[in-house]
Amino acid sequence: MKLRRKIILIFSVILFITITINTIYLSYTSLDASYRNLIAYFERLEETMVQSIERYIVMMDLALDDLTTDSEFIRGLSIASDAENNGMSTLLTAQNAMSQTLYHSAVVDNFYRVSVYAPNGFFLSSHFEKNDILVSFSDEAHEIINQLPWLDTVKSAPFQRHIIPPHIDPFCIAQDICVFSAIRVVMLYGQPIGYVEVSSGAEELASIFGSSNDPYQVQAVFTDGTIFYKDTEDCAVYNPEDFPLMELCTYRDPNGCERYVMRAESRWLGLNIYVSEDVSISRSYSMRQIYTYFELALLIFMLGMLIVILVSFKLTQATWLLTDKVNQMPVSRLISEPYATRELMVTRPADGEIHTLEKAFDHLMAALRTSVQNELFLRENSLKAQLKALQAQINPHFVYNTLNIISAKSMESGNEEISEICNQFAQMLRYSTDTRSEVATLEEELEHVKCYLQLSKARYEENLVYTIDVPQDSLCLKLPKLTLQPLVENALSHGYNGPANRRDVSVLGEIRDGKLCLTVRDNGVGFSPEKLAELTAAIHSIEAHEPFDPALARHIGLLNTYRRLFFYSSGAIHMWLENDGGALVHIDIPVDFKAHDA
């Protein structure tokens, strides 16, 4: 099997195993996270429901307390409950006083109805329009009141507030209205004289315990087993002993549906609240996440295989080039066809052992053709020198003329922007290729930087804003050519993440302590602490004339620029870096800087 295929096979297996393990790990992590999120979701629901129902019952208690602690109200109810021993005028006066207290209560209007009644048929409501004109002291009122099923329970604990689960309002004759109530016995001198009942519509419970749009179901059950609230489609029967408080449990309802259930408790109300959700809903969400992970893993595997193939081709390139070279150089033709044996190196020093092997092979071939090698070497090197000389003689005026042609054609077609870009590029090219002098004035350098920024603005448009602020009296100062433009280019190339970011670049200058101090500032991501430490160490190495590690400055243009400036100025020019809302590059150049012309 060829080396290339072996590398592809080995790395593809490693890639497959790695991606599979990571995908399985992410899947299990996702399931665990989904379960923990469900627990947190249920806990928030339970806490909200308990707080809401307790707050609402507190409001009912306030309404009950507001009436049962009012002396005039109790006195009126006492008269009404003993109507046989009181005259009609006294009874009407007492009823009017009770109505005034009832209608002027600040809490009563928050509920469907507040009713006051007595076993003798006395009935008074906060909203008569809701009771279909049930007449007080009528036979109908007497019958309805004395048939109320919860009165015995209420009378058995007269000093407590009792909550009546949702039921059909017995005082509304014309239509069936579902309400729930809080009721209390009114006591006078240790004897019950009547009842005060605060009723609210059953829809209030629906708003407290959830909505039909939610995926969960709710049951609220008193400790005696009385159901206070439950969703219509919920057929489950819960035993509080089977569900520890605020713990997520699984439960299979009578329909065979498996559910997640969590129980919360309001000890003050003696109420257990069960929130449940179909297990399939949570599992469906988790499976969608797992499918997404596997789709992403497949995509990563395909991209990884592409990278493996490209890398394997790159790694084995030197091997098959050397093999091809050997196959094209048979020993029998070394003397008869000396030119056919002359080959260039097909590998690089970075190829390591393969490069060493090729050198050894070339030395072996050189020993067999010693008689012709010198002549071939001289002839080939002479040809190469001529070729390089010809390549170096490309007339730059050809490039300028071509740019002028493009500019003229753009002006003819009305595209002034292309014409301006060509002119700016030609100006930059003319400045960069001018070898008559290696120094320039600050004004010339800034003009070169402006051309580069204008060309960059054609790319970034409104996302690029630049500022150049230098003293007017410093424009005539001398400095090495191409000092600022590489720094500005480095800021635009490496200082930002993504092309859509707004780029603010400024070139600032001032004369301080006999030096021209130039600063290139950007508003990008700045230098990371590690990169800033590496660059500072490299700058110190350059200034100390220590050996410079090429790997440290790989792809870092500003270090290469500083090396050129530092050694060209014999150590007179200095640079340092810092972060301040972006990257800052400072350069100090002596005002009396002198440099020789080329």
Query: What SS3 state is found at 479?
Result: strand
Domain boundary among 339, 360, 392: 392
Residues 82 and 168 both lie in one domain: yes
Taking the chain, what is the end-to-end CA distance rounded to the nearest angstrom? Answer: 59
Comparing CA positions, the residue from 273, 275, 247 lying closest to residue 50 is 273
The tens place of each residue's pLDDT in the chain, 598 residues long, gives 677 788 888 888 888 898 888 888 888 888 888 888 889 999 999 999 999 999 999 999 999 988 888 888 899 999 988 888 888 888 888 888 888 888 877 778 788 889 999 999 899 888 755 545 678 888 888 999 999 999 988 988 888 899 999 999 888 877 788 999 999 999 888 889 999 999 999 989 988 987 555 788 899 999 988 999 988 777 888 999 989 999 999 998 888 888 899 999 999 999 999 999 888 888 888 788 888 888 888 898 899 888 888 888 877 777 777 777 777 665 555 555 544 444 567 777 776 777 777 677 676 766 666 655 445 444 554 445 444 434 444 455 556 566 667 766 666 666 667 767 777 777 777 777 766 778 889 998 999 889 888 888 888 888 889 999 999 998 999 888 888 888 888 888 877 776 657 889 999 999 998 899 999 999 988 888 888 888 888 888 888 877 555 555 444 677 888 888 888 888 888 999 999 888 999 999 998 877 544 3
CB 525 within 8 A of CB 495: yes
Q: What residue numbers bound the domain in which 343 lies?
A: 317-392
Q: How far apart are CA 421 and CA 35, in angstroms?
A: 60
CB 292 within 8 A of CB 30: no
Q: In the structure encoding, which two tokens stand for residue 177, read together? A: 């209205």
Residues 193 and 233 both lie in one domain: no
Domain boundary among 205, 228, 255: 205
Residues 184 and 86 both lie in one domain: yes
Which H or E element spans position 166? strand 162-168
Residue 587, phi then psi, degrees to nearest 5: -135, 130
- Residue matched to tokens 């099923």: 149
Amino acid making up residue 263: R
545: left (phi over 0), alpha (psi -120 to 50) or beta: left
Comparing CA positions, the residue from 273, 266, 274, 275 lying closest to residue 58 is 266
Report CA-CA distances (Å) from 561 to 269, 523, 568: 79, 21, 11
Comparing CA positions, the residue from 221, 337, 316 lying closest to residue 275 is 221
| Residue 100 belongs to a domain | yes
Residues in the chain: 598
Which H or E element spans position 518? strand 515-522
Residues 77 and 197 both lie in one domain: yes
Residues 374 and 328 both lie in one domain: yes
Residues 468 and 362 both lie in one domain: no
Residues 385 and 488 both lie in one domain: no
| Residue 414 belongs to a domain | no
Beta-carbon neighbour count of residue 239 at 10 Å? 11
Q: Where are the alpha helices (DSSP H) in 157-247?
A: 203-209
Q: How far apart are CA 360 and CA 352, in angstroms?
A: 13
Domain boundary among 205, 231, 260: 205
520: left (phi over 0), alpha (psi -120 to 50) or beta: beta
Q: How far apart are CA 94 and CA 100, in angstroms?
A: 10
| Residue 495 belongs to a domain | yes
Cα 176 off chain centre by = 52
CA 191-193-196 angle, to 5 degrees, is 125
Residues 76 and 141 both lie in one domain: yes
| Residue 538 belongs to a domain | yes
Q: In the structure encoding, which two tokens stand for residue 118, read together? A: 């007595």
CATH code of the domain covering residue 116: 3.30.450.20
CA quadruple 393, 396, 398, 399: dihedral sign:
positive
Residues 161 and 234 both lie in one domain: no
CB 376 within 8 A of CB 334: no
Q: In the structure encoding, which two tokens stand for residue 183, read together? A: 């009721």
| Residue 472 belongs to a domain | yes
Residues 256 and 358 both lie in one domain: no
| Residue 160 belongs to a domain | yes
CB 125 within 8 A of CB 74: no
Domain count, the chain: 4
137: left (phi over 0), alpha (psi -120 to 50) or beta: left
- Residue matched to tokens 């209608």: 103
| Residue 139 belongs to a domain | yes
CATH code of the domain covering residue 477: 3.30.565.10
Q: How far apart are CA 424 and CA 447, in angstroms?
A: 10
Q: In the structure encoding, which two tokens stand for residue 466, read together? A: 């630049």
DSSP state of 240: G
| Residue 296 belongs to a domain | no
Residues 168 and 197 both lie in one domain: yes
CATH code of the domain covering residue 252: 3.30.450
Q: How far apart are CA 351 and CA 353, in angstroms?
A: 6
CB 245 within 8 A of CB 267: no
Query: What SS3 state is found at 22?
Result: helix
Residues 117 and 215 both lie in one domain: no
Which pLDDT value is given to residue 272?
Answer: 95
